[in-house]
Chain A
Amino acid sequence: MNIRFEVNGKPAEVAVEPRTNLADCLRYHLRLTGTHVGCEHGVCGACTVIVDGAAVRACLMLAAQAEGTSIVTVEGLSRDDGLTPLQAAFRKRHALQCGFCTPGMLTTAHALLSEEPDADEDRIRSVLSGNLCRCTGYIPIVEAVLEARAAYRQGGKP
Chain B
Amino acid sequence: MKPPPFEYQAPATIGEAVALLAADPGAKPIAGGQSLMPILNFRLAAPSLLVDLRRLPGLGDIAVGADGVQLGAKVRWRDIEADVRLATAHPLLQAAVAHVAHYQIRNRGTIGGSLAHADPAAELPGIAVTCEAEIAVVGAAGRRTIAAADFFTGPLATILRGDELITELRLPPWPQGRRWAFQEFARRQGDFALAGVALFYDEDAAGNARGAHVGVIGAGDRPQRLPAVEAALDGREIDEPTIQRAARAAAGAVDPPEDLHATSAYRRALVGTLVERALRAAAAGDSR
Interface-located stretch among B6-14, B123-131, B162-170: B6-14
Question: Which 10 pairs between the two chains have the least Cβ-Cβ distance?
Answer: A130-B102, A18-B8, A54-B107, A41-B38, A60-B37, A127-B103, A19-B3, A129-B189, A57-B104, A55-B104
* Contact string against B for A residues 53-85, beta-carbon threshold 8 Å, 1 for contact and 0 otherwise: 011110111101101000000000000000000
Give A130 to B54 CA distance when docked, in angstroms. Answer: 24
**Shortest distance from the beta carbon of A125 to any chain B beta carbon, whole Å:** 9
Establish whether residues A54 and B5, one from each chain, have CB atoms under 8 Å apart when the complex forms. Answer: no
Of the A-B pairs whose beta carbons lie under 8 Å apart in the complex, a sample of 23, sorted by A's number, is A18-B6, A21-B2, A21-B3, A21-B41, A40-B2, A41-B41, A45-B104, A54-B78, A57-B108, A59-B37, A60-B33, A60-B34, A60-B37, A61-B108, A62-B33, A64-B10, A112-B103, A127-B102, A127-B103, A129-B103, A129-B189, A130-B103, A130-B105
Asked whether any CB of chain A lies closer than 8 Å to the CB of B203, the reply is: no
Q: Which A positions have Cβ atoms within 8 angstroms of B?
A: 1, 17-19, 21, 24, 40-42, 45, 48, 54-57, 59-62, 64-65, 67, 108, 112, 126-127, 129-130
Residue numbers in A under 8 Å from B4 (CB-CB): 19
Establish whether residues B8 and A1, one from each chain, have CB atoms under 8 Å apart when the complex forms. Answer: yes
Establish whether residues B42 and A65, one from each chain, have CB atoms under 8 Å apart when the complex forms. Answer: no
Give A108 to B103 CA distance when docked, in angstroms. Answer: 9
Establish whether residues B189 and A41, one from each chain, have CB atoms under 8 Å apart when the complex forms. Answer: no
Interface centre among A45, A60, A108, A112, by most B CB within 10 Å? A60
**Which residue on B lies nearest to A20, using beta carbons?**
B2
Asked whether any CB of chain A lies closer than 8 Å to the CB of B52, the reply is: yes
Establish whether residues A129 and B38, one from each chain, have CB atoms under 8 Å apart when the complex forms. Answer: no
Residue numbers in B under 8 Å from A129 (CB-CB): 102-103, 188-190
Residue numbers in A under 8 Å from B102 (CB-CB): 45, 127, 129-130
Asked whether any CB of chain A lies closer than 8 Å to the CB of B50, the reply is: yes
Asked whether any CB of chain A lies closer than 8 Å to the CB of B1, the reply is: yes
Give A54 to B7 CA distance when docked, in angstroms. Answer: 27
Establish whether residues A60 and B8, one from each chain, have CB atoms under 8 Å apart when the complex forms. Answer: no
Give A133 to B103 CA distance when docked, in angstroms. Answer: 16
Residue numbers in A under 8 Å from B3 (CB-CB): 19, 21
* Contact string against A for B residues 107-146, beta-carbon threshold 8 Å, 1 for contact and 0 otherwise: 1100000000000000000000000000000000000000
Residue numbers in A under 8 Å from B1 (CB-CB): 40
Establish whether residues A67 and B10, one from each chain, have CB atoms under 8 Å apart when the complex forms. Answer: yes
Can you name 6 extra interface pairs (CB under 8 A) apart from A19-B3, A48-B104?
Answer: A40-B1, A41-B42, A45-B102, A57-B108, A59-B41, A126-B103
Q: Which of B165-217 contact A (CB under 8 A)?
A: 188-190
Residue numbers in B under 8 Å from A1 (CB-CB): 8
**Shortest distance from the beta carbon of A17 to any chain B beta carbon, whole Å:** 7
Known contacts A19-B2, A54-B78, A130-B190: does B104 contact A64 (CB below 8 Å)? no
Interface centre among B4, B6, B50, B104, by most A CB within 10 Å? B104
Pick the contact of B104: A67, A108, A126 (CB < 8 A). Answer: A108
Give A54 to B32 CA distance when docked, in angstroms. Answer: 13
Residue numbers in B under 8 Å from A65 (CB-CB): 30, 33, 52, 54
Residue numbers in A under 8 Å from B33 (CB-CB): 60-62, 65
